[in-house]
């Protein structure tokens, strides 16, 4: 197990488990996979996630087209992303409780900012963190993140638990997409000229992760408002 005594600064190149240099893979002009970047933070992320999920439990939302998403969602931050029969949008209240979404834990925001910085995006101030839970079989179809007020800020996407194949496409749905395996602790950041690239996740395979069991959890940080 990794120790957690020194959390990385935003300029720390040694963000991986066992203090190995984090490996950065460029997957677009302004898109990066930061391998293992979140590993030193996991021991603080998971306890912070618990009260968030008590307040705003995972739920399978309906799409405007009338399907139920296989990925279960929650959110924290001042804005939460929701979907129902009338469309996709950000809301200040959790429609399940009619209460504000849980506050974004400081450690979530700090990780998102550090990852954005490592990918060349300074001053990232996320106000929304979508929390996706994939059980085996769950998938996310190709889509663009375009419900945000501005596209100036990047998307920062943290993978925890079971591995998944991330699809990273182009600016048109029909563009060929690249398959990027994502593992526990990896972070993908895309922004700037790549901000509106299509992306998705292939159906999750069965498996068991030592810390998270038979699931993958993804945090997607955005500046939505
Ligand atoms: C998303 O696009 O909201 C999720 C991406 C992922 O689960 O890696
Ligand atoms: Fe997305």
Q: φ and ψ at 111, to 5 degrees?
A: -65, -45
**H or E stretch at 47:** helix 42-55
Q: So what's the pLDDT on residue 22? A: 64
Bridge partner list, 200: 167
Interval 96-102 mean pLDDT: 97
How far apart are the CA of 2 and the centre of ligand 1, in A? 26
Q: Which has the minimum average pLDDT: 7-16, 111-120, 144-153?
A: 7-16
Please state the pTM of the whole predicted model: 0.90
Q: Is 32 in the pocket of ligand 1 (CB under 6 A)?
A: no
pLDDT of residue 117 exceeding 50: yes
Task: Report whether 224 contacts 81 (CB < 8 A).
Answer: yes
How far apart are the CA of 92 and the centre of ligand 1, in A? 21
pLDDT category of residue 84 using cuts at 50, 70 and 90: confident
Q: Which has the minimum average pLDDT: 3-17, 34-48, 91-105, 210-224?
A: 3-17
Q: So what's the pLDDT on residue 85? A: 85
Give the end-to-end CA distance of the chain in Å, rounded to a whole number. 38
State the average pLDDT for the chain. 92
Ligand nearest to the CA of 132: 1
Q: Is 201 in the pocket of ligand 1 (CB under 6 A)?
A: yes
Q: Where are the domains of the chain?
A: 23-222
Ligand 1 pocket mutation pick from 33, 83, 115, 132 by most atoms within 8 angstroms of CB: 132
CATH architecture observed for domain 23-222: Sandwich (2.60)
Angle at 133 between CA 127 and CA 138, to 5 degrees: 130
Best CA proximity match to 157, nearest among 134, 179, 190: 190
Residues with Cβ < 8 Å from 134, sequence gap 6 or more? 70, 71, 140, 162, 164, 201, 204, 215, 216, 217, 218
Task: Report whether 154 contacts 191 (CB < 8 A).
Answer: yes
CA–CA distance, 73 with 87 (Å, rounded to integer): 15
How far apart are the CA of 5 and the centre of ligand 2, in A? 32
pLDDT digits (tens, 9 = 90+) for 49-78: 999 999 999 999 999 988 999 999 999 999
């Amino acid at each position: 197990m990794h120790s957690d005594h020194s959390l990385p600064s935003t300029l720390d190149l040694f963000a991986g488990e066992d203090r190995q240099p984090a490996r950065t893979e460029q997957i677009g002009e302004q898109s990066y996979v930061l391998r293992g970047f979140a590993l030193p933070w996991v021991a603080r992320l998971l306890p912070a996630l618990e009260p968030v999920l008590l307040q705003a439990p995972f739920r399978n939302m309906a799409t405007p087209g009338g399907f139920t998403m296989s990925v279960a969602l929650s959110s924290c931050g001042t804005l939460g992303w929701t979907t129902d029969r009338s469309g996709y949008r950000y809301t200040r209240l959790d429609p399940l409780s009619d209460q504000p979404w849980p506050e974004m834990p400081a450690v979530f925001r700090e990780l998102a900012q550090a990852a954005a910085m490592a990918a060349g995006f300074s001053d990232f101030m996320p106000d929304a963190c979508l929390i996706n839970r994939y059980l085996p079989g769950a998938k996310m179809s190709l889509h663009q993140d375009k419900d945000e007020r501005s596209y100036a800020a990047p998307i920062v996407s943290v993978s925890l638990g079971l591995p998944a194949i991330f699809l990273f496409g182009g600016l048109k749905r029909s563009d060929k997409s690249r398959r990027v395996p994502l593992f526990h602790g990896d972070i993908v950041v895309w922004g700037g000229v790549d901000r509106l690239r299509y992306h998705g996740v292939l159906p999750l395979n069965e498996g068991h992760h030592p810390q998270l069991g038979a699931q993958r959890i993804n945090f997607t940080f955005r500046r939505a408002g």
